[in-house]
Structure 1
C-alpha cells in the first residue's frame, strides 16, 4: 500500500467527469514497471436520499463505468453510489500503459483500498476505520471475480456483495482451462505482455452499442469495438483466480449473483445474442456460484445479456426487482418492530393484578354472555 497516502493527509480534488452530472477523483497508486499508475473514482454531484449504505462498483475487462442508469437504480434505494475505473482502464488508462494489464488480480487491492479510503471505509488497522455506514460491493465479469477474491482475502470489510455475470470459470470450463494453462503460463514466463490470439469478433459490442443493435452510448477509445489483445500474464492471473474459486472461497457476507438464463457461443452472429450471454459460458459459471460463500443467492434472468443491466428494458425491470428484493432482505436497515406502548407508571402502580380497562373489556349487557376472546395474534403467540 505504499502508493496510498493516509486519508487525512491526502487532499481530495474532485473534478467534473465526462458523464454529465458526475464528478471524478484521481487516486494515485504506487508506480509499476510502466511508470505512474492511477485509479479513478466516480460519483454523482450532490447528495441524494441516504439509507446509510455506500456502494463501490467495479467494471469488467475492456470496460469502464458508463452505466448511469445503474447509479440511478441504487440511488433510488438511498444507496450512495461510487464506481471505480481500475488502473489501466477507462479514465485511468494512460498512453504509456498496456491496457488492462496485470499479472496478479491481487494488485487491485491497492485500487480498491484507495477507493474505500476516499469513501471513509479505511482498513481496520487505520485510525479512521470506524464508520457507521454499510459497505456494498458490486462487480461485473472480471470485476466480479476480482471483488469475490478481495472479499475472501479481507473478511469483515464489506457487508454484502453483488456479482453481475462474474467470470468465475473459463469458457472452456475446468478441463479446457487446465489444457490451456500450461502453454499460457509458458508464454507468460517468456513474454508476459505478448499478445494472445484475439477471439473477440465484436458480437457482444453489436448487442449493446447504439451504433449497431443495442441501445447504449459509450466512449470507444475506452471500450473499443475490436477489444484489446489479451496478454498471457493477464490470462494466467485470471486462471489463478478461477482455480481459487474452484477450490472454494469463504466470503463471509451475503452474495447476490445475477446471470443470464442462457449463453450463446460467439462463433457466428445469431439474433439470440440480443437476449443471451455471448461472452461467458453461463452453465460453467453457475456451477461455481455455490463455491463463493455460505449465503449465496443466484438469480437466472431470461433474456439477459452478459452485463445484465444493459439488457432490454423489460429484462432490466426484472434485474431491478430481484436486486431490490435481495437488498431489502440482506442489506437495508431493518425497520423497527412496532411495540404496544406501556401504560404510565401511575396506572401500573394502582392497577389490581389482572385488571383491565373498561375500554379493553366492556361489561356485557344483562342476559348476554361475554364476547368471545379473539384468537391470539402472531405477536401474542411469540
Structure 2
C-alpha cells in the first residue's frame, strides 16, 4: 500500500515510482499483481478513498511481489519491462479492470500494461462508500494523475486508455493537465487541479511531457437521450441535486449489454459480478449532474489533450430490450455518432477509427472484431511513436 495525494505529486512529480512498489496477488491470476494507493479523505464525505493499480508482467507468479527482489536493477527481465512504454486502462461506469486478454495483447506488442480501478469502483470500493459515486468527474483527476506519475517515473513514456465514462475522464484529465501546463492557464478550467497546483505550472508541464498518447474506447461524449431527457438532465437534475443530492435516479446501463457479455448469461467473459453486476447499481442525482457537467465542459470549454489522440467507436448503436443477433454487433449503450461529432473536442487533430460490428467496449467484441480493433490501436500507436517521438 502507498499513501499519495495530488498535492504530493505536484510538489515533486516523479519522486515516487511504480518500480519501487510491492505488488500483491490479484484475482486475474498468473502474471497480474495489485497495489493499493491510499488518497485520504473523500471530498464527497464518505469513507477514505483509494485507487488500485493492477500490473501485468508475465514473469510474476501471482504471489506477493517484493520490489526489493523482483525489481532489482540487475534483473534483465525487470530492466526490459521498465524500458517499455507504459499503457494504463481506465474503466467505465459500474465497471473495473478485468480485460486480461487486452493486457496480454499489449504486452506482446511491446508495452508494459496496467489497469486502474478508480475510487469507489471495483477493487477500490470499501465499506462506507457508495459504489462508483462522485459528485464531480474531475475528482478522478487525482486518481489518474497519481497513476500517471508513478508510471512516468519508471517508464518515461505513458499511454492513457479510457473506456466509456473513463474515456470522458481521461480526455478531460489530459485537457486539464495540458491547460495547467500552459502559460495562460485559467483557474476555472482546471477542476481538481485548481487548488493543488497553487501556481506550479512546471509540475503540470513535466507530467504532460511524459504523456505520449490518449486512446479512447467508445468515450461518453454526449447524452444519448432524446431532447426532453437531455433538458431534464442538464437543467432540472442539477437543481434537484443541490437540494436532495442523494435522491436516487431510475434506470442505468441496459442489462441486455451485461447479458451479452457475461459467460453466465449469453456472453464469453467470466468477470466478477460483484465488481461489475449485470443490473445497474443505484445512482444519485448528484452523480448524474456531475457527469452532465463534465460533458458540457468537453463540449463548450475549448481545450485539447495536447497529444496524439485516437477515438475508437462501433459503427452503430442498437437499443434492445432483449438479446438478439444485433446485440453482438453494435454499441448497446452509447451512440457512436456523438463520439464522431465530439472527437475534435478531445483534440483538434484526433483520429477516429470506426470498428464495424463492435460492442460498446470494443475490446470485448466477438472475434474477429476485437482482434482487428486491438491491431488498429497498436498500429496507430506504433505510428505515434515512430513519427511523433522518433522511436520504433
Q: What TM-score, normalized by structure 1, do the two folds share? A: 0.80
- The structure that is helix-richer by fraction is 2
Match of 1:151 in 2: 174
Superposition RMSD on alpha carbons, in Å?
Answer: 2.4
- 1:52-110 Cα distance to aligned partner (Å, 9 max, x none): 31112100000000000110111111111111100000100012100000011111121
Match of 2:379 in 1: 325
CA drift at 1:36: 1.5
1:29 matches 2:39: yes
Secondary structure of the structure 2 residue equivalent to 1:305: coil
Q: 1:298/1:201 Cα in 2 relative to 1: closer, same or farther (>3 Å)?
A: closer
Count of matched residue pairs: 327
Correspondent of 1:60 among 73, 92, 108:
92
Match of 1:281 in 2: 335
Note if contact 2:233-2:288 (Cα within 8 Å) is conserved in structure 1: no
Measure, in 1, the Cα distance between the counterparts of 2:358 and 2:53.
Answer: 27
Correspondent of 2:54 among 22, 42, 52:
42
Q: 1:2/1:43 Cα in 2 relative to 1: closer, same or farther (>3 Å)?
A: closer
Map 1:65-214; keep pairs closer than 5 Å: 65-121=97-153, 133-155=156-178, 157=208, 158-172=211-225, 176-214=229-267
Asked which structure has the greater RCO (Cα within 8 Å, sep 6+), the reply is 2
CA drift at 1:334: 3.7
Measure, in 2, the Cα distance between the counterparts of 1:74 and 1:82.
Answer: 10
1:293 matches 2:362: no
Bigger shift: residues 171-180 or 205-214: 171-180
CA drift at 1:3: 7.4
Unaligned runs of 5+ in 2: 60-76, 179-204
Note if contact 1:86-1:108 (Cα within 8 Å) is conserved in structure 2: yes
Measure, in 1, the Cα distance between the counterparts of 2:147 and 2:33.
Answer: 14
Note if contact 1:4-1:29 (Cα within 8 Å) is conserved in structure 2: no
Match of 2:23 in 1: 14
Secondary structure of the structure 2 residue equivalent to 1:300: strand
CA drift at 1:314: 0.5
Q: Which has the larger radius of gyration?
A: 1
Measure, in 2, the Cα distance between the counterparts of 1:141 and 1:295.
Answer: 20
Measure, in 2, the Cα distance between the counterparts of 1:208 and 1:132.
Answer: 33
Correspondent of 2:284 among 219, 228, 231:
231
Secondary structure of the structure 2 residue equivalent to 1:313: coil
Measure, in 1, the Cα distance between the counterparts of 2:346 and 2:315.
Answer: 19
Note if contact 1:3-1:31 (Cα within 8 Å) is conserved in structure 2: no
CA drift at 1:174: 7.0
Correspondent of 1:261 among 277, 291, 315:
315
Note if contact 1:86-1:111 (Cα within 8 Å) is conserved in structure 2: yes
Measure, in 1, the Cα distance between the counterparts of 2:348 and 2:296.
Answer: 19
Measure, in 1, the Cα distance between the counterparts of 2:251 and 2:259.
Answer: 17
Note if contact 2:332-2:360 (Cα within 8 Å) is conserved in structure 1: yes
Measure, in 1, the Cα distance between the counterparts of 2:372 and 2:227.
Answer: 31
Measure, in 2, the Cα distance between the counterparts of 1:208 and 1:97.
Answer: 27
Match of 2:362 in 1: 308
Unaligned runs of 5+ in 1: 122-130, 337-382
Note if contact 2:238-2:289 (Cα within 8 Å) is conserved in structure 1: yes
Note if contact 1:2-1:30 (Cα within 8 Å) is conserved in structure 2: no
CA drift at 1:9: 11
Q: What TM-score, normalized by structure 2, do the two folds share? A: 0.78
Match of 2:188 in 1: none
